[in-house]
Structure 1
Amino acid sequence: MKITLATYLSLDGVMQGPGTPTEDPSGGFEHGGWQFPYADEELGTYSEQWFGEADAFLLGRRTYEIFAAFWPTVTDADDVIATSLNNLPKYVVSTTLDRADWHNTTIIRTDVLKQIAELRERPGRELQIHGSGALARTLLDHGMIDELRLWTYPVVLGSGKRLFEPGRTATAMRLVESRTTGSGCIVGIYQPAGKPTYGDFSQEG
């Protein structure tokens, strides 16, 4: 399975608390729910399309707990997102989670990179990460994410947790597809392309 990451970002790269004011107020974050004003039909269409390509999910603890508190309550058999999340295997990376009662969930506590590498080698379509910033940053640093689906919204927040924080492993990205929603969100689909290359404009001519 290829590992894919989908996450929402502000223009200045913040991924914290897009859904509700109470989603993730850690660190004094006061902008929770910033994505809501930009929700449109394309958000649902693209999300359903990508969730429909999943064979399993890989989540960090906080994202897992947010999902587990909501999606089991959605019982509409025609809801692609709920059906996928409620039925497919879910792997949550955590050393502090005591139990995971959501159907078909496995906790990964030790040898995280090794266990995820083994999942990646299994046959199938996609092992999907949604949100899960700390987990995503670790896997990016180790070259273990095959595709990034970044939803960049036209808002600057000025504070909050970012996907690409200082100190990340330098990586070139290849844009393989881009879309724009009616609310002004730019959806960029990227694949890692090795180490960055460099040049010098002063040497031209």
Structure 2
Amino acid sequence: MKISLTTFLTLDGVYQAPGGPDEDSSGGFERGGWSVPYGDEDFGRFMVEVFDRADAFLLGRKTYEIFAGYWPKVTDADDPIASRLNTLPKYVATDTLTSLDWQGSRPIGGNLVEELTALKRQSGRELQIHGSGALAGSLLGHGLIDTIHLLTFPVAVGTGKKLFRPDAEPSAYTLSASRTTGTGVVISSYEFQGSPTYGTYGLPEDA
């Protein structure tokens, strides 16, 4: 089973609080909800395609709390996103939450790299991360995420939490798919390839 990440980013690389001002105001962030004006049918169609491939979910603590407060209330069995989130296994990366009320949820902590390496050996399609920027940033640094779906929204907020950490290991990716929604959200899918290679545009020394 491979690990995939689907995440929303601003043009200046911020992932914090895309869905509303109350999602994450830490650090004094007051610009939450920046993704909302760009939701349309193209956006929704892509998200349904992603959830159709899920066999399990991996969530950070904060994203788990946001999702657990919302999705169990969506009880329509035909809802393509709620039906999967409410029924498929959910692994929550936390050392503080020990009791998880959302059906099918269980905490994983300790050595997360070892836990996830073991999960990746299991059969299945995708263990999906949605949001969970702090968790995703850590896993990107360890090369554990196989596929990244970056949804880049045509807005810059100037401040906020960034997905890619400056101390992460350098990584190379191959662009596997790209599309643009009617509202201008660029959806790019990347496959992890390992360490990058380097070159130069400079003239040869003996030229």
User: 1:187: which partner in 2?
Assistant: 187
Q: Distance in 1 between matches of 2:165 and 2:84?
A: 31
Q: Say whether residues 1:82 and 2:76 are aligned partners.
A: no
Residue 200 of structure 1 aligns with which residue? 200
Q: Indicate the residue corresponding to 1:70 in structure 2.
A: 70
1:102 aligned to 2:102? yes
CA contact 2:141–2:167 (8 Å) conserved in 1: no
Q: Hey, what does 1:29 align to over in structure 2?
A: 29
2:98–2:107 contact (8 Å) kept in structure 1: no
Task: Please give the root-mean-square deviation of Cα atoms over the aligned residues, in Å.
Answer: 1.1
Q: Does 1:137 align with 2:132?
A: no
How many aligned positions are there? 205
List runs of 5+ in structure 1 lacking aligned partners: none
Instruction: Give me the TM-score of the superposition, normalised by structure 1.
Output: 0.97
Supply the distance in 2 between the matched residues of 1:115 and 1:165 (Cα, whole angstroms): 22
Question: Where do 4+ consecutive residues of structure 1 move more than 6 Å?
Answer: none
Which residue type is aligned with residue 195 of structure 2?
A: K
TM-score where L is the length of structure 2: 0.96
CA drift at 1:109: 2.1
Task: Give the C-alpha shift of residue 164 in structure 1.
Answer: 1.1
**Structure 2 equivalent of residue 91 of structure 1:** 91
- Specify the code of the residue in structure 1 equivalent to 2:94: S
Gaps of 5+ in 2: none
Q: Partners in 1 of 2:62 and 2:71 — Cα distance? A: 14
Counterpart Cα distance in 1 of 2:183 and 2:203: 42
Percent same amino acid among aligned pairs?
54
- For 2:115, the aligned partner's letter is Q
Quote the Cα distance in structure 1 between the aligned partners of 2:21 and 2:174.
34
Alpha-carbon displacement from aligned partner over 1:30-65 (angstroms, at most 9, x marks no partner): 110000111111111111111011000000000000
